[in-house]
Every structure is written in C-alpha cells, then in structure tokens.
C-alpha cells in the first residue's frame, strides 16, 4: 500500500526521464519500490513543522529530479538517524536570512548546528574544468561551502559550532549515493566559519535507506574560528562506531512489503 504522499496521481505522472530516481522506483513498485516510498512518506509525516514549513521539503521529495529528491531524502535521513537514537535534533525555523538545517542539543550548555548538503556532479562555472572528476572532490567541497557562508555565519552569531554534513555522489546508482573522500590534508582550505565536516554515503537496501559505515569520515576544521566542545567532538567521533557496517537510518524500522 502506497502512502498518500506518493499517491496514484504521482505514480501515474510521467514527467520523469529515464535516469530519474522515480523511474527506478516504479520499475519495482510491487516490491522494494513501495517499501522505499512508504519509508520516506512515514519520515516526512513524522518530521516536525507545519504544513507550510514542510511545503518545500514535500515538493522536493516528490520531484522526479534526482538532485531535488536526493537532497531532501538526505536531510530526512540525517534527522531520522539521530532522533531514532534518542538524540534531540530539531529543524531550525527559517527566518529572513539563510538558516542552517538542524540543531543538535546535547545538554543545556552544548549544541551543534548541522548544515546538510549534497555534492552533486559539478555544473558550476567555477568548477567546469573538473568535468565531473572524482579526483577534485576538495575543490568542489570548497565551492559548495562558499555558497553556504550565510548558513555558517548563523552559527557564529549564535556562538554554536556548525558542522557541514556532506552527502557525496557523482553518478546515479539506484536510489542511493556514491562517495569519494578527499585527502584530509586539503581540508585546511575549508572556510573558517565551519567547525567540522562529516562525509557519508547513503544507499538503499531492500527499499530501506542506510549509511555505509566504511564511507563515513569526520574531520575538524583546523582553521575554524569556533572549535567543537569536548562532548560534541566525542559524540560526532563515536556515534557511528557502535553501528553495524550498514547503518540503518531509522533504528526502529522493520522492512515489510
């Protein structure tokens, strides 16, 4: 049974191309495709916020464009990973200026802000020479970070460290993402407004989103103007170590068709 977020009208709409995530899902709509859609719809229904506040997220999830859909699912996956493990992770309300995505409250005195983004194949003029090359990941990360400066400065104004959560993929693979890790030494070029970066790969197995443990990489920014406090650093460094090789995003999820 398909959840109402992806209703019959959405299924019957043919406004997608052959490489769209939607096409991949509809090919397996009687099996894992339905599991995937129901999982994403359930997360969306549980995600905090009013109908108006969630409108953009809803449109992105339903979009046949890979970049729109994957970006939205990455945000949901990150939120669900933390909340299903009993952490307090809340979306940051949008305001007049640019705001980051989430705030993780570890205790009354310590919080971390997350800005979730997806490193898509480069189509930016300043990166055209990269021609989708995986060997230039750091350059593309820096360009992506520069476009998010306003979100990072939000954390500086609040005196809360900001960590960039980077889902990286360079070509379409099913419903998931493909990861390429840049050399650690090159992180010295990351803007000082960022306290750290977490790279990870999200994939889908039997219709359920997972993170691949072996792909996850946490690094502090040695030039940051706002360092991560001890508890924050410890939490971000250890949270994935306790998990299996394939980390289910929703710890309470049970795969059923």
pLDDT digits (tens, 9 = 90+) for 105-144: 998 889 999 999 987 654 444 444 333 444 456 677 777 7
pLDDT (0 to 100) of residue 126: 45
Q: Over the stretch 226-257, which tens digit does the pLDDT of each residue have?
A: 999 999 999 999 999 989 999 999 998 764 44
For 67-248, CATH gives: 3.40.1350
> Residue 177: which residues within 8 A CB-CB, separation 6 or more?
70, 74, 118, 167, 168, 169, 201, 202, 203
Q: What is the DSSP letter of 157?
A: H
pLDDT (0 to 100) of residue 120: 64
pLDDT (0 to 100) of residue 79: 98
pLDDT (0 to 100) of residue 186: 56
| Strand order across the beta sheet in which 88-91 lies | 88-91, 102-105, 111-119, 162-168, 196-200, 217-220
């Amino acid at each position: 049974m398909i959840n109402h977020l992806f209703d019959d009208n959405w299924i019957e709409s043919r406004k997608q191309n052959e490489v769209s995530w939607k096409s991949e899902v509809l090919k397996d709509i009687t099996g894992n495709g339905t599991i995937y859609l129901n999982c994403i719809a359930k997360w969306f229904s549980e995600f905090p916020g009013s109908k108006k506040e969630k409108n953009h997220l809803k449109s992105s999830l339903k979009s046949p464009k890979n970049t729109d859909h994957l970006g939205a699912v990455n945000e949901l996956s990150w939120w669900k990973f933390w909340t299903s493990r009993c952490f307090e992770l809340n979306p940051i309300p949008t305001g007049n200026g640019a705001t980051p995505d989430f705030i993780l409250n570890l205790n009354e005195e310590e919080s971390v802000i997350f800005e979730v983004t997806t490193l898509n194949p480069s189509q930016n003029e300043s990166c055209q020479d990269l021609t989708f090359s995986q060997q230039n990941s750091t350059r593309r990360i820096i360009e992506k970070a520069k476009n998010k400066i306003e979100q990072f400065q939000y954390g500086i104004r609040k005196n809360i460290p900001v960590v960039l959560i980077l889902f990286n993929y360079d070509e379409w693979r099913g419903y998931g993402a493909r990861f390429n890790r840049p050399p650690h030494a090159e992180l010295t070029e990351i803007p000082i407004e960022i306290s750290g970066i977490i790279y990870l790969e999200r994939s889908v197995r039997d219709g359920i989103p997972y993170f691949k443990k072996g792909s996850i990489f946490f690094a502090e920014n040695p030039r940051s103007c706002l360092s991560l406090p001890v508890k924050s650093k410890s939490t971000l460094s250890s949270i994935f170590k306790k998990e299996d090789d394939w980390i289910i995003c929703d710890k309470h999820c049970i795969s059923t068709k």
